């Protein structure tokens, strides 16, 4: 066991860092005689941009939808029209389409996740904030439209185009339903990545005419409102097979082919689950939870001191460290806090003292059996440890099961509880033991 | 204090708590929320200057050709409406109709769950409970494998799970009664509470079992019943204290915490209180009874 002073410094260091991380945005203003303080504390942000070392980490508290207000959607992709080979590809495309659309709205931090459950392909969308929700939801569920457009004829050219649509005002008959699929291919000569397109019969004919009319010009491919690509036509292309070449990286080629497939393998999406939470409900809940947590902490603190006197006080200090470090961890990992997650945190505070109680009760017993204080301390910790370890592991097992079988809010609870339990093991054992050893030595 | 001698009294107390719940379960079942059945939940607040009652709302909804599952009034012109799943367009029409009639309507919450998702949630919930029980028996058997013969560690595992099942039954039973008399529904969070209670119930039981293990080594010759009783008495304070701290935080949450997790916290409170009782008065005595029988 390393010297307790060293460990104490480590603990203090961790605590101070935790305090820095935890500080929310607050302004401090007060006048005291000749001293005047007026500062705003901001949450810390780490931003390092020095040569090869790039690091950006911000320590905001991430709030789940039930606290920030917003919409939670689960969309299910209807794969009936798609052969099973193409399904994964079609799904990847539809996820990309949904992402583009959600980002289009410029809403803060939307989350789009894939979820394949058995045979169902699902997309989970979370949009925090309440403005324009209905529009966003309507937009998100629509099937993607892939369209091909020609440049304006010389006489109709707009002098100062303000959007891509000005440059390419002429829509053609060619659309996503004519595109069978798009693939990443590699030029046989240069090995460079390119995107190959395959049209159906009708599409091949239209494409031949289209390319014939536009030799030397470019043709624009739009997915919904986004311009995907505007390749130059070098010759008329018959047969329905075309290749878009350019300075693609493999990654960029892949992205383009995925986007093109969204139009080629359109997947209708239905909303199977939708939850909308108003924002006022959320902020009230946060306030109430903070109050509840504070009151809970206070009562426990009191209980420990009443029952165990000085030992209890030390345990309270350890408990305060625990709360700080855990919350700092939530900000760092980061863990998205939901109301249930906060409840999990508060619950783990109640459970955090358990270890201390077991140790202290054991110490009382050992002293009753005649041991001196320092020995009772060591024995108390050692003998109580198996109980502490076993009981916390069983709680962690249930957290794991909750995480595995649960979704969204349930997982949030499982994570906060698990993080809380792990940190509580550290604080109850290491922190309390160190503090007590130092105290008893004097 | 002889707990073991009075073990049948304590089994009786457990029975008294469980039986009404079981009756409720058999007679009325529990009220599954839309998380399990699928459906739509609409929580809204109507212009406080109007007087509105449930029947008016019902008529309005029916007027839109929507079938009403239930209407709950939570005071202050706030209502919770439960329906079969409706589309967004239907909901928009309904809200417009309400605004036309009452002037101002604030939508607090709108949740729609399709029936397949509901079914999956139910299946997952059952699987989770079963897996948790098995995992816990396994873990305790593992942790207590060094029990001196002739006692087997499996018995400890099973005893812990029996106490656990007791707690689960208490919570489900109480929520069946709450469901019937106060229209309280079960949702995903309820299952979460149940699993947390299971984990915590074992937490507590292990404290007692640990002491029994230690005493078995120390007091090998003495009769099993006596060893168990001594263990329980020795650990009484700490079992109660550890549970008390958790119950304090839960009470704080109940009184001062947010509305939407209210029943979640109640489920946890009931479960953990029951868990404490079962660890002390059910799990260990069960071991004794099993020992006496074999």
User: How does the average pLDDT of chain A come out, rounded?
Assistant: 79
> Nearest residue on chain A to B263, judged by CA atoms?
A340
Distance CA A283, CA B33 (A): 25
Q: What is the DSSP letter of A271?
A: E
User: CA torsion sign, B87 to A74 to B111 to B184?
Assistant: positive
Q: Is the pLDDT of residue A67 over 70?
A: yes
Least CB-CB distance to B206: which of A74, A391, A410?
Answer: A391
- Looking at residues A19-25, what average pLDDT do you find? 73
Q: Which of B82, B92, B98 is nearest to B50 (CA)?
A: B98
Q: Is the pLDDT of residue B171 over 90?
A: yes
Predicted local confidence at residue B172, as pLDDT: 92
Q: Which of B83, B82, B65 is nearest to B73 (CA)?
A: B82
User: CA torsion sign, A320 to A326 to A330 to A335?
Assistant: negative
Decide if B127 touches A, using CB distance below 8 A: yes
Decide if A142 touches B, using CB distance below 8 A: no
The domain ranges of chain B are 7-34+116-293, 39-113
Distance CA A331, CA A62 (A): 7
Kindly report, residue by residue over A101-121, the tens digit of the pLDDT.
777 666 566 778 787 766 788
> Which residues, numbered 221 to 260 in chain A, qualify as contacts with chain B under a Cβ-Cβ cut-off of 8 Å?
none
Decide if A108 touches B, using CB distance below 8 A: no
In the CATH scheme, what architecture does the domain B7-34+116-293 have?
A: Up-down Bundle (1.20)
A358: left (phi over 0), alpha (psi -120 to 50) or beta: alpha
Decide if B240 touches A, using CB distance below 8 A: no
Task: Name chain B contacts of A272, Cβ cutoff 8 Å.
Answer: 113-114, 116-117
Using alpha carbons, list the distances in angstroms from residue A322 to A41, A424, B101.
Answer: 23, 6, 53
> Which residues, numbered 403 to 432 in chain A, qualify as contacts with chain B under a Cβ-Cβ cut-off of 8 Å?
404-407, 409-410, 413-414, 417
User: Do the Cβ atoms of A194 and A273 come closer than 8 Å?
Assistant: no
Please give the residue that has the higher pLDDT: either B106 or B168.
B168
> Which residues, numbered 324 to 343 in chain A, qualify as contacts with chain B under a Cβ-Cβ cut-off of 8 Å?
339-340, 343
Predicted local confidence at residue A132, as pLDDT: 54
The domain ranges of chain A are 4-44+279-441, 70-277
CB-hemisphere CA count at 13 Å for B272?
A: 28
User: Do the Cβ atoms of B41 and B80 come closer than 8 Å?
Assistant: yes
Kindly report, residue by residue over B176-194, the tens digit of the pLDDT.
998 888 878 888 788 888 8
pLDDT grade for A53, boundaries at 50, 70 and 90? low
Please give the residue that has the higher pLDDT: either B145 or B165.
B165
| A351 with B204: Cβ contact below 8 A | no
- Looking at residues A246-261, what average pLDDT do you find? 82
Q: Which of B204, B206, B208, B224 is nearest to B216 (CA)?
A: B224
Nearest Cα of chain A lies from the Cα of B13 at a distance, in angstroms, of 26
Q: Which of B189, B187, B186, B168 is nearest to B178 (CA)?
A: B186
Nearest Cα of chain A lies from the Cα of B159 at a distance, in angstroms, of 15
Kindly report, residue by residue over A274-325, the tens digit of the pLDDT.
877 776 666 777 788 888 888 888 888 899 899 888 888 888 888 888 888 8
- Looking at residues A237-250, what average pLDDT do you find? 84
Percent over 70 (pLDDT), chain A:
83
User: How does the average pLDDT of chain B come out, rounded?
Assistant: 83
DSSP H helices, B29-69, are 34-37, 54-63
Q: Which of B255, B290, B8 is nearest to B162 (CA)?
A: B290
- Looking at residues A344-365, what average pLDDT do you find? 83
Distance CA B200, CA B284 (A): 16
Q: What is the distance between the terminal CA atoms of chain B, rounded to a whole angstrom? A: 26
Q: How many other C-beta atoms lie within 10 A of the C-beta of residue B22?
A: 15
DSSP H helices, A182-278, are 201-213, 250-264
Tell me: domain B39-113, CATH 3.30.230.10, correct?
Answer: no
Strands A241-244 and A193-199: antiparallel
| A398 with B247: Cβ contact below 8 A | no
Predicted local confidence at residue B75, as pLDDT: 67
Predicted local confidence at residue B29, as pLDDT: 83
Predicted local confidence at residue B241, as pLDDT: 87
Q: Is the pLDDT of residue A36 over 90?
A: no
Kindly report, residue by residue over A75-96, the tens digit of the pLDDT.
888 887 777 777 887 788 888 8
Q: Is the pLDDT of residue B150 over 70?
A: no
Please give the residue that has the higher pLDDT: either A222 or A262.
A222
Percent over 90 (pLDDT), chain A:
0
| A354 with B203: Cβ contact below 8 A | yes
| B203 with A391: Cβ contact below 8 A | yes
3 state SS of B86: coil
Predicted local confidence at residue A239, as pLDDT: 82
- Looking at residues B49-72, what average pLDDT do you find? 80
Predicted local confidence at residue A384, as pLDDT: 82
Residues whose CB falls within 8 Å of the CB of residue A247, separated by 6 or more in sequence, listed in order:
A192
Kindly report, residue by residue over A373-391, the tens digit of the pLDDT.
778 878 888 888 878 888 8
Q: What is the ipTM of this complex?
A: 0.79
Kindly report, residue by residue over B224-277, the tens digit of the pLDDT.
888 888 888 888 888 888 888 888 888 888 888 777 778 889 999 999 999 998
| B127 with A405: Cβ contact below 8 A | yes
Question: Which structure tokens are listed for A369?
Answer: 């059996």
3 state SS of B146: coil
Task: Name chain B contacts of A303, Cβ cutoff 8 Å.
Answer: 244-245, 248
> Nearest residue on chain B to A283, judged by CA atoms?
B258
Q: Is the pLDDT of residue A61 over 80?
A: no
Q: A4-44+279-441 and A70-277 share one CATH topology?
A: no
The answer, yes or no, to whether the previous bond of B150 is cis (omega within 30 of 0) is yes
Q: What are phi and psi of A48, to 5 degrees?
A: -115, 130
Q: What is the full DSSP assignment across A138-200?
A: HHHHSPP-EEEEEPPPGGG--SS-SSHHHH--EEEEEEGGGEEEEEEEE-TTT--EEEEEEE-
Q: Is the pLDDT of residue A210 over 70?
A: yes
Kindly report, residue by residue over A121-157, the tens digit of the pLDDT.
888 888 776 555 566 667 676 667 788 888 877 766 7
User: Do the Cβ atoms of A222 and A163 come closer than 8 Å?
Assistant: no
Predicted local confidence at residue B267, as pLDDT: 93
User: Do the Cβ atoms of B180 and B150 come closer than 8 Å?
Assistant: no
Q: Which of B292, B2, B230 is nearest to B10 (CA)?
A: B2
| A350 with B249: Cβ contact below 8 A | yes
Q: Which of A11, A388, A427, A317 is nearest to A2 (CA)?
A: A11
Sheet arrangement for strand A241-244: A179-186, A193-199, A241-244
Question: C-alpha dihedral over A20, A24, A27, A28, to 10 degrees?
Answer: -40
Question: Which structure tokens are listed for B262?
Answer: 């209210």
Predicted local confidence at residue B174, as pLDDT: 92
Please tell me the CATH superfamily of domain A4-44+279-441, with its number.
Answer: Multidrug efflux transporter AcrB transmembrane domain (1.20.1640.10)
Distance CA A61, CA B269 (A): 28
Predicted local confidence at residue B175, as pLDDT: 92
pLDDT grade for A186, boundaries at 50, 70 and 90? confident
Task: Name chain B contacts of A275, Cβ cutoff 8 Å.
Answer: 109-112
What is the fold of A70-277?
Answer: Alpha-Beta Plaits (3.30.70)
Question: Which structure tokens are listed for B291?
Answer: 């020992």
């Amino acid at each position: 066991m390393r010297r307790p002073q060293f460990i104490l410094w480590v603990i203090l260091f961790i605590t101070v860092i935790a305090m820095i991380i935890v500080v929310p945005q607050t302004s401090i203003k007060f006048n005291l005689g000749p001293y005047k303080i007026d500062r705003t504390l901001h949450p810390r942000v780490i931003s390092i941009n020095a040569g090869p070392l790039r690091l950006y980490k911000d320590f905001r508290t991430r709030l789940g939808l039930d606290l920030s207000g917003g919409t939670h959607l689960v969309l299910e992709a209807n794969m009936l029209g798609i052969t099973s080979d193409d399904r994964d590809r079609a799904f990847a495309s539809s996820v990309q389409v949904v992402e583009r659309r959600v980002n289009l709205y410029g809403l803060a931090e939307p989350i789009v996740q894939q979820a394949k459950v058995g045979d169902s392909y699902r997309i989970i969308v979370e949009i925090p904030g309440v403005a324009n929700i209905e529009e966003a939801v309507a937009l998100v569920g629509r099937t993607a439209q892939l369209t091909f457009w020609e440049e304006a004829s010389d006489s109709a050219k707009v002098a100062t185009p303000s959007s891509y649509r000005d440059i390419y005002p002429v829509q053609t008959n060619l659309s996503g339903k004519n595109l069978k699929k798009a693939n990443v291919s590699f030029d046989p000569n240069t090995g460079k990545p390119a995107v190959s397109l395959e049209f159906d019969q009708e599409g091949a004919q239209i494409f031949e005419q289209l390319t014939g009319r536009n030799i030397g010009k470019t043709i624009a491919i739009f997915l919904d409102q986004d311009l995907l690509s505007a390749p130059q036509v070098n010759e008329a292309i018959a047969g329905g097979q075309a290749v878009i070449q350019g300075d693609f990286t493999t990654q960029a080629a892949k992205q383009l082919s995925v986007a093109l497939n969204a139009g080629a393998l359109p997947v209708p999406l239905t909303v199977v689950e939708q939850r909308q939470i108003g924002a006022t409900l959320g902020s009230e809940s946060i306030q109430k939870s903070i109050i509840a947590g504070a009151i809970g902490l206070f009562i426990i603190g009191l209980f420990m001191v009443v029952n165990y006197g000085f030992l209890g006080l030390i345990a309270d200090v350890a408990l305060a460290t625990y709360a700080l470090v855990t919350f700092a961890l939530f900000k760092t990992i980061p863990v998205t806090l939901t109301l249930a997650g906060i409840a999990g945190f508060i619950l783990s505070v109640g459970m955090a003292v358990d270890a201390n109680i077991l140790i202290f009760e054991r110490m009382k017993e050992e002293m009753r059996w005649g041991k001196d204080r320092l020995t009772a301390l060591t024995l108390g910790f050692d003998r109580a440890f198996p109980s502490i370890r076993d009981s916390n592991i069983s709680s962690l097992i249930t957290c794991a099961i909750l995480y595995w079988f649960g979704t969204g809010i349930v997982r949030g609870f499982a994570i906060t509880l698990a993080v809380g339990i792990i940190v509580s093991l550290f604080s109850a054992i290491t922190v309390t033991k160190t503090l007590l050893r130092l105290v008893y030595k004097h | 204090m002889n707990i073991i001698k009075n073990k049948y009294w304590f089994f009786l107390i457990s029975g008294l708590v469980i039986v009404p719940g079981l009756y409720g379960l058999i007679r009325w079942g529990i009220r599954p929320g839309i998380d399990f059945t699928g459906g739509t939940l609409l929580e809204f607040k109507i212009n406080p200057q109007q007087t509105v009652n449930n029947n008016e709302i019902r008529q309005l909804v029916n007027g839109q050709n929507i079938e009403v599952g239930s209407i709950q009034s939570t005071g202050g012109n706030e209502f919770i409406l439960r329906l079969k799943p409706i589309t967004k367009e239907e909901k928009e029409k309904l809200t417009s109709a309400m605004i036309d009639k009452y002037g101002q309507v604030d939508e607090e919450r709108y949740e729609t769950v399709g029936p397949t998702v509901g079914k999956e949630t139910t299946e997952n919930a059952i699987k989770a409970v079963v897996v948790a029980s098995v995992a816990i028996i396994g873990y305790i058997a593992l942790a207590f494998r060094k029990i001196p013969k002739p006692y087997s560690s499996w018995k400890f595992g099973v005893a812990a799970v029996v106490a656990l099942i007791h707690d689960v039954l208490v919570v489900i039973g109480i929520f069946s009664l709450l469901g019937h008399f106060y229209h309280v529904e079960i949702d995903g969070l309820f299952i979460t509470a149940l699993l947390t209670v299971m984990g915590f119930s074992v937490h507590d039981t292990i404290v007692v079992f640990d002491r029994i293990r230690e005493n078995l080594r120390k007091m090998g010759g003495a009769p099993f019943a006596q060893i168990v009783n001594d263990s329980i008495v020795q650990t009484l304070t700490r079992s109660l204290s550890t549970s008390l701290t958790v119950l304090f935080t839960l009470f704080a949450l109940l009184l001062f915490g947010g509305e939407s997790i209210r029943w979640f916290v109640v489920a946890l409170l009931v479960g953990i209180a029951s868990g404490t009782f079962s660890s002390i008065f059910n799990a260990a005595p069960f071991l004794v009874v099993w020992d006496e029988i074999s």
